[in-house]
Structure 1
Amino acid sequence: MNILITNAYCYLNKGDSGIIRAMVQEFRKQYPDARITVVSLFPELDQDKYGDCRVVASPVAPYAGKNRLAKVLRNSARWAGLWLANRLRLPVHPTLRDFREADIVVSCGGGYFKARNLAQFLGDFMYHYLQFMTAVQYRKPFVIYAQTVGEFGDHPLVTGKIRKLIRKSALCLPREPISAAFLKRFVPDADNCFETSDIAFLLTKQDIPAGRLESLLDREGLKVGVTMRSWHFPGEADRAGLLAGYKESLLRTIRHLADDRGADVFLMPQCIGPGEDNDLIISREILSRLNGHPRVHLVDENLTPEQLKGVYARMNLFLGTRMHSNIFSLSEGVPCVAISYDPKTDGIMKAVGLEDYVLPIKGISDKTLVPLVDKALADLDGMRRTLARTLPGLFAKSRLNNTLLYDVIASGGATPAKVRIKAVAGEWQDA
């Protein structure tokens, strides 16, 4: 059995790498002897990071420059070239052999399946689209796995190509209810779309080695974990002002937690690269503005996703901007207040029944964030009861990704004619 996992980003983003490690963790239970290959945008950083897997390069490497037009033109040319090479079966890139030899192509889960306009489709989404396109051209069964889906704007090229991909997939698995509802509107005739949940809910947590962080976690009292990111506020005119407001709201909320609530606050970089996509930068900036506060701690160890999940599990409350930091904490029953930069966050929080504990990152301020955090602290038991009620259904939906995938493999690539899913109530019913 040859399983090809496509569309991987980079191990340094511990949310994305947690997805792949959870996929491999689960695939090995069903197919212990399978050959699993991961197609990565940063293969040099990802080698030996996903267990017993090969890591190979994407057919098109990321554009290193900053000129948007040059990026669009370059990726458009690569699209045409790769389409022709696949059509003629020309071995222009070594990874094409992995597509040719795959029994099943599975995109890694995530939030990249979107393109708001033509420029984003030809720029950012093109790296992902080319991998899906190659699976189609090589006539391989492929699964759009545990995805947040949309937006796609209204450009006919974009919407046409995306609808075609969805219809040609053996399965399209939206990972939360907002994406599932979008797909019902976007491709109402599709019979291969089934709502699941993020596979990272199933990632197994691990303990961290003894040391400074372990001793801090052993302290008595309230512990709050925080993830933050330098969000770029796409499409907004005053990006610098919005980012400054976001930082200020976090700074004041963290100070409130440490000073007024007596909490130990752990700043936890969820993504440490590649390049400037590094949460350590903003975390260190916030820490420096707190003047070495004794109750605020920067977690700067390069932990595995499983170890991060183990740390998050020891928090009383989590305040997360990075969505997978929220998933890691929620899956361990830890109440969460989420700062949303994308509908995927709203969708996940709705799925766990905590949609009242989400604030949009645009225009956020301490005047809204501090009261919401205080509300959560006052109702930690109620939030835990909500998670105890909703998480079993989320775990079942996470496992459903693989139940359906294995059905496709067993049937030689055909979409299951009839699917039975585990409902939140714990009963089997027709999807």
Structure 2
Amino acid sequence: MAGAKGLWISILALFFPRIFVASKSSTARSLLIGILNFLRSLGLIFSAVLFRYTGFKGILLFSNKEQWEALVSSDLILMKGGSYIFSYGRWKDNLFIYRMLLTPLLGVLLRKKVVFLSHSIGPINGKIERFLTKYVLGRTRAIILRENLSYEYVKHDLKLNGPLIDVLPDLAFYTESQGIKTYKIYKKQPLVGFTIRHWDFPQKKDPYSYFEKYISGITEIIDYIRKDFNAKILLIPHCMDDIVVMQQIYAKFKNPENIFIIQEDYSLVELRTLLGSLSILIGTRIHSNILAISEATPVIPVVYEVHKGYGIMQMAGIEKESIFEISNLDVATLKRRIKYLLQDTSNFHERKCLYAKVTSLREDIPKKIEGYLKGVLCNQRLEMGKND
């Protein structure tokens, strides 16, 4: 079965994959998969402790032998960027943070050098969740965060001082640029992009009403741009769930003229080119904003995770007042920001500033990563962290 094959691949790819790995699975089957994955993870932890104190390299509970051998024989475990370590105290969050910390926990138990590269961290609620996070992170060699809010949280809330803690721009800023040096100004018809997503508003008592307000606000903004600026609207999904939300919005228009949902599966280069062709982007997906900024396209961010959203966008030079929260979408202020950015002179100035900022961010990334990894592998004392 394709579903079973896909499930098996996901188990091979991660030590503790997502519990709900397939939308077509029944709840009972998904729960069974989750229990099986959890038991496997306990077997891995026991195997790591056994190896630490006896040198026995065996692995328990039918986990992936190749992954285990790679972990045991490694010199460095690099936790790739793009992840967000957090918990609001819900059971789903607890499972998520356990899943995110399992591999570095195994590395710590195996006495390996562990580095977190380009992550966001916090908030973390709950005594057990905070203990596990501090235990794992405090025993790594370096924690490289992708924005300043996470840095402040790790240093002053979690109070971690053992590993190097530093800030590096999100690695998406370093993706291949298409070289947008001529700042395009629309002449006849603006082309405005949107990235939209489902969000469950984990800190709100009535998440459904907040989601409806978000959808209504975006719908009103689309109608405003289309009518007042004679603009074409592109709804640009980043996953299949996004398309479902976009179709809900599209269905609200009796006459959806000049509104288009992108259905193609674009490569990274194609997506960057598309985002670079826009007059502006109103983006809820953080990496759509990063890619658009990297192509010098003016962006209006709608953030759903505060540390990640505000932190990364402010690092890219976008002022806090120009960033909007998904739980409190101020439509009137958003309209004023759109009107400002769709003026020729404002659009040109914004593109010029974005291009200069991204060029500066890109230059920092390779030098710093090389320094981090050389220092860790050569057991050098790492002193490149931010000064408090």
| Normalised-by-shorter TM-score class | 0.7 to 0.9
Q: Return the letter of the residue paired with 1:398.
A: I
Q: Does 1:242 align with 2:197?
A: no
- The offset of 1:331, in angstroms, is 1.3
- Structure 1 contact 171–193 (Cα < 8 Å) conserved: yes
Which residues of structure 2 form unaligned runs of 5+?
A: 1-5, 21-25, 51-56, 180-185
- Provide the residue aligned with 2:81 in structure 1: 109
Q: What residue in structure 2 maps to residue 257 of structure 1?
A: 225
The CA deviation at 1:180 is: 1.5
Bigger radius of gyration, 1 or 2?
2
Do the aligned residues in 2 keep the contact of 1:257 with 1:263 (CA within 8 Å)?
yes
Alignment-mate amino acid for residue 327 of structure 1? I
Letter of the 1:60 partner, please give it.
Answer: F
2:118 counterpart SS class: strand
Whichever residue aligns with residue 271 of structure 1, its letter is C
Which runs of no fewer than 5 residues in structure 1 stay unpaired? 1-40, 46-54, 208-217, 273-277, 422-429
State the distance in 1 between where 2:92 and 2:328 align: 24
Q: 1:409 to 1:257 in 2, by over 3 A?
A: same
Query: Helix, strand or coil for the counterpart of 1:148?
Result: strand
Residue 394 of structure 1, CA deviation: 1.9
Question: For residue 165 of structure 1, what is the aligned residue in structure 2?
Answer: 136
Does residue 364 (structure 1) correspond to residue 329 (structure 2)? The answer is: yes
Query: 2:282 matched to 1:326?
Result: no
Looking at structure 1, the residues matched to 309 and 146 of structure 2 have their Cα atoms a distance apart, in angstroms, of: 11
In 1: Cα distance, 2:242 partner to 2:109 partner: 38
| Displacement after TM superposition at 1:206 (Å) | 6.9
Q: How many residues align?
A: 356
Per-residue deviation, 1:191: 4.6
CA drift of 1:237 comes to: 1.8
Q: Which stretch has the larger CA shift, 282-291 or 348-357? A: 282-291
Residues 385 and 226 of structure 1, relative CA distance in 2, 3 Å threshold: same
- SS of aligned partner of 1:194: strand
Query: Cα distance 1:404–1:380, how it changes in 2: closer, same or farther (>3 A)?
Result: same
TM-score under structure 1 length normalisation: 0.74
Task: Specify the code of the residue in structure 2 equivalent to 1:260.
Answer: D
Amino acid of the residue matched to residue 132 of structure 2? K
Partner of 1:38: none
Displacement of 1:90 in angstroms is: 2.8
Summarize deviations over 1:80-130 as a string: whole Å, max 9, x none.
Answer: 332112222432322212212333211121242122337455311111111
TM-superposition CA deviations, 1:49-75 (whole Å, max 9, x none):
xxxxxx942122321376999999777
Correspondences of 1:129-168 after superposition (within 5 Å): 129-153=101-125, 155-168=126-139
1:221-300 → structure 2 map (5 Å cutoff): 221-272=189-240, 278-291=241-254, 293-300=256-263
Tell me how far apart the structure 2 counterparts of residues 324 and 163 of structure 1 sit (CA, whole Å).
28
CA distance in 2 between partners of 1:71 and 1:119 (Å): 16
Q: Per-residue deviation at 1:319? A: 0.5
For 1:176, give the aligned amino acid: E
Residue aligned with 2:88, SS: coil
In 2, Cα distance between equivalents of 1:196 and 1:362 = 28
Match of 1:17?
none
Residue 125 of structure 1: aligned partner = 97
Alpha carbons 1:103, 1:140 under 8 Å: kept: yes
Structure 2 residue 54 is the aligned partner of structure 1 residue 85 = no
Distance of 2:90 and 2:238 partners within structure 1:
30
How far apart are the structure 2 equivalents of 1:369 and 1:71?
44
TM-score between both structures, scaled by the size of structure 2: 0.81
Q: Please tell me whether residue 352 in structure 1 is matched to residue 308 in structure 2.
A: no
SS in 1 for 2:166: coil
Q: Secondary structure at the match of 1:90?
A: coil
Distance in 1 (CA, whole Å) between partners of 2:96 and 2:138 is 22
CA contact (8 A) 2:196 2:284 kept: yes
Q: Percent identity?
A: 19
Match of 1:336 in 2: 299
Residues 295 and 401 of structure 1: is their aligned pair in 2 closer, same or farther, counting only changes over 3 Å?
Answer: farther
Matched AA of 2:314: K
CA distance in 2, matches of 1:249, 1:122: 31
What are the Cα deviations for residues 142-179 of structure 1, in whole angstroms up to 9, with x where unaligned? 211101111112x3332222122222212100101111
Contact 1:248 1:365 in 2 (8 A): no
CA displacement at 1:79 relative to structure 2: 4.5
**8 Å contact from structure 1 (residues 199, 401) kept in 2:** no
- Aligned equivalent of 1:407: 374
CA RMSD of aligned residues (A): 3.1
The reply on whether 1:200 has 2:172 as its aligned counterpart is yes
Cα distance between partner residues in 1 of 2:36 and 2:87 = 17
Counterpart of 2:357? 390
1:41-80 matches, within 5 Å, as 44=9, 56-64=12-20, 77-80=39-42
Partner SS, residue 150 of structure 1: strand
Q: Secondary structure at the match of 2:281?
A: strand
Asked whether the 8 Å contact 2:88–2:203 carries over to 1, the reply is no
Letter of the 2:221 counterpart: T
Distance, in Å, in 2 between the alignment partners of 1:127 and 1:83 is 12
> Which residue of 316, 339, 348 corresponds with 2:279?
316
C-alpha contact 1:197 1:398 (8 A) present in aligned 2: yes
Distance in 1 between the 2:48 and 2:299 partners? 46
Change (3 A) 1:202 1:87: same
The secondary structure found in structure 2 opposite 1:168 is coil
Which whole-Å deviations, capped at 9, do the CAs of 1:283-327 have from their partners, x for residues lacking one? Answer: 122223234533222111011233211211111211100111001
Q: Which amino acid aligns with 1:324?
A: H
